[in-house]
Amino acid sequence: MMKKLLTACVILVAVGTFAFAKGNSEPSDTGTAAGTGIGIVKTAYGSVSGVVSALYPDVTIFKGVPYAAPPVGDLRWQAPQDPKPWTGVRACDTYAAISPQYADQGAGSEPWKTDFYNWGEFPPVSEDCLYVNITTGAKSSNEKRPVYIWFHGGGLRHGWSYEPEFDGDTLAKKGVIVVSVGQRLGVFGYMSLPQLTKEQGHSGNYGLMDTIKAVAWVKANIAAFGGDPNNITLGGQSGGTTKAAGIVSSPLATGPQHGIKNMILESGVKWFDVFKDQAGGEADGQKYLTHLGIDTNASLESLRAMDFKVFLGKDTDDYVSNTPTNMINDGYSLKYSIMADAVDAGEWKGINILSGTNLGEAIDALKMTSAEFYDAYKKGLGPLYDQYDFQNLVKVTDANAADTFRTFATYGLNVNIGGSYSRCLMVNRVFGAYMKQVYGTSAGTYYSYLFSHFTPSRPEEAGTIRDVKNFWAWHSSEMWYAFDTLRQGVPPARPWTAYDFELAETVSNYWVNFIKTGNPNGPGLTVWPEADAGYQYLEIGDTVASRNEMEKIDQLMRDAVLTKWNIKLNK
């Protein structure tokens, strides 16, 4: 189970500014660029034209297609409304503005950014951000291609829908229609206040409702782009998995209602996400207004009239540290206090799931002596420490205590020091067994993975946050391979190897097969077994191999997960 740690990751340059835009609201009469793909498409609200992919002449990209009205003015902190219909052909040749955020937001946790962007080119921001981007290789509206709706990461406070690491061109070339979704984030997507609750009967999950609205729009319109509205896969990375899981758990959007057949959850199965109640959300909202110097009893009319920049705080650190960014158990769009209750209630029944984690992302690098290592586990494991004779089961020295702790955190022993339980491999492995137990023959398929391949680093990255000692297979690095986008980037290019390109072809083929059928397996690929009571998973690293080890340390990891979350599992 233990791995030798070999490669790594880079410091980000940030500017702490944001650009503003009017959004992408007005249609024009410009037609599609020349190509061999689908032409003008008629949606329920008007006709749209796209642009031809720079990579494939038979792939068309529709950028900035509105799925809801701009949530500005009186629509700030309201459920998304239908877009206004238009006449003529709307030229969808430019990406829309992104939800308000700072350019350097998430700089420490999203290390891919400087591989693609010069910070002077940070996308414009605006509350007018409710648009989808559709990448399709279909030539007509009767092809019924599988649909992949993608939600970007960045928690619920930053990121955007057209980051090049999840560019959809290659997946579209392989037969999948990729739809990426812009939605309200941060204070604009998750503000809860007593005034709002009084007005609407609930408040806080506006970003979640945006994503549900987007899925409904796709269900109603994707056939015109050559897609199958009854074969939809929801996907996301990190915070994007929260969005996907929130959708299938919401009473506003059940799986069968929206044709959701599959989910891909990269870096977070979200089984144990906890949601505040309405009162807790309102308290957070009032606290943030107080922090900004705004009267907590201010009228909604006055709050909606304020410039959106007022709600971003003085700088990135201020915004990230204080803004409300959590989904809320509001009794309307969510009715559970923990995601596990949604699973138990049958909300995920019949949905095929592919989920996994990256080696090292469960917790950041840390310093630790052997004494601190054993002390952390003695406190964190409780009775399991002696039951498994932990000090004799696991032998560490001061030299390897920190790396062993971090490796264990990835595989399933994440105790006491923080980190993310949703990114533990054992949580993913146990979830497969649990889903089969709870749903029986009504369960969908479930496939788990560990991405352990180290993305090539540059010489100048030594000592930065991409150094091998810090990031290993760092958070979000799998997306280059899942979408096969290694070609992307601004100089200096990452020194991709022949194996990187081979692995990207392999991983993207697994993903495409799963999107098409709910099963990632296919010709020429290593067999990926379903994860069930055998706790199987696929390791995607320097080799690609199926695993199902359940040695004593693995059994301890399983029991630690079950104990922490009081899960009853037939072993």
Domain ranges in the chain are 1-362+420-527
The CA distances from residue 431 to 7, 247, 342, 404, 533, in Å, are 30, 19, 13, 24, 10
Q: What is the mean pLDDT of residues 102-108?
A: 58
pLDDT per position as a tens digit, 259-274: 799 999 999 888 888 9
Instruction: Summarize the confidence of residues 84-90 as an average pLDDT.
Output: 98
Give the pLDDT band of residue 297 (cuts 50, 70, 90).
Answer: very high
| 464 against 152, higher pLDDT | 152
What is the SS3 assignment for 502? helix
CB 535 within 8 A of CB 548: yes
**pLDDT at residue 320 in the model:** 78
pLDDT band at residue 351 under the 50/70/90 scheme: very high
Beta-strand (E) ranges in 79-238?
A: 89-91, 124-125, 131-136, 145-151, 177-181, 227-237
pLDDT at 14 over 50: no
Which of 15-24, 383-392, 414-423 is the least confident region?
15-24
Across 42-47, average pLDDT: 98
Decide if 538 contacts 452 (C-beta within 8 A): no
- pLDDT above 50 for 35: yes
- Tell which wins on pLDDT, 566 or 58: 58
What value does the mean pLDDT take over residues 432-437? 93
Q: Are 403 and 359 in contact (CB under 8 A)?
A: no
Non-local (6+) Cβ contacts of 530 within 8 A are 432, 445, 446, 447, 536
- pLDDT of 434 higher than 70: yes
**What is the pLDDT at residue 119?**
45
364 pLDDT band, cuts 50/70/90, is: low
SS3 148: strand
Q: Residue 21: pLDDT above 80?
A: no
Tokens standing for residue 25: 């609201």
Burial class (CB within 10 angstroms; exposed 0-12, middle 13-18, buried 19+) of 73: exposed
Q: Has residue 404 got a pLDDT over 70?
A: yes
419: left (phi over 0), alpha (psi -120 to 50) or beta: left
DSSP 73: G
Tokens of 447: 């496939």
- Per DSSP, the chain holds a count of helices (H) and strands (E) of 19, 18
Of all helices (H) and strands (E), which one includes residue 260? strand 260-266
d(CA 232, CA 234): 7
The residue from 238, 250, 448, 477 that is catalytic is 238
Question: Quick check: 474 and 361 in contact, CB under 8 A?
Answer: yes
Whether 136 shows a pLDDT value over 80: the answer reads yes
- Give the SS3 label for residue 493: coil
Confidence of residue 27 (pLDDT cuts 50, 70, 90): very low
For domain 1-362+420-527, give the fold.
Answer: Rossmann fold (3.40.50)
pLDDT for 497 beyond 50: yes
pLDDT in tens, 163-182: 888 999 999 999 999 999 99
Mean pLDDT of the 303-332 span: 90
pLDDT of residue 115 exceeding 70: no
Under DSSP, the state recorded for 107 is T
* Cα(568)–Cα(277) distance, integer angstroms: 25
Answer for the pair 98, 181: CB distance below 8 angstroms, yes or no: no
In whole angstroms, give the CA distance from residue 410 to residue 423: 7
- Model confidence at 61: pLDDT above 80: yes
Instruction: Label residues 354-389 b or e (16+ Cβ within 10 Å = b).
Output: bbbbbbbbbbbebebebebbbebbbebbeebbeebe
Mean pLDDT of 366-379: 92
Kind and range of the H or E run holding 378: helix 370-381
Alpha helices in 222-348 (DSSP H): 239-249, 255-258, 278-292, 300-305, 316-322, 339-344
At 488, the pLDDT band (50, 70, 90 cuts) reads: low
Rounded distance between C-alpha atoms, residue 181 and residue 249, angstroms = 18
User: Under a CB-based contact definition with an 8 Å cutoff, are residues 149 and 214 in contact?
Assistant: yes
pLDDT band at 257 (very low <50, low <70, confident <90, very high): low
Q: Does residue 23 register a pLDDT over 70?
A: no
Check residue 4 and give its pLDDT: 34
Find residue 177's DSSP bridge partners.
147
User: Is 60 exceeded by the pLDDT of residue 255?
Assistant: no
Helix (H, G, I), strand (E, B) or coil at 35: coil
- Please say whether the beta carbons of 417 and 265 come within 8 A: no
Residue 249 designated active-site: no
The mean pLDDT of the chain is 87
Among the residue ranges 227-231, 243-247, 312-316, the one predicted with the least confidence is 312-316
Task: Give SS3 for 547.
Answer: strand
Residue percentage of the chain with pLDDT more than 90: 69
Residue 321's pLDDT band (cuts 50, 70, 90)? confident
**How confident is residue 459, by pLDDT bands cut at 50, 70 and 90?**
confident
Q: Biggest alpha carbon distance in the chain?
A: 74
Strand partners of residue 147:
177, 232
pLDDT in the model for residue 390: 97
In Å, how far are 223, 238, 443 from 259, measured between CA atoms? Answer: 12, 23, 16
Tell me: pLDDT of 111 over 60: no
* Rg from Cα positions in the chain: 23
| pLDDT at position 57 over 80 | yes
Tell me the pairing of strands 46-49 and 41-43. Answer: antiparallel
Q: What is the per-residue pLDDT for 393?
A: 97
Q: What is the pLDDT of residue 121?
A: 66
Q: Is the distance from CB of 41 to CB of 89 less than 8 angstroms? A: no
Which range (87-91, 209-213, 215-219, 457-461) has the least confidence? 457-461
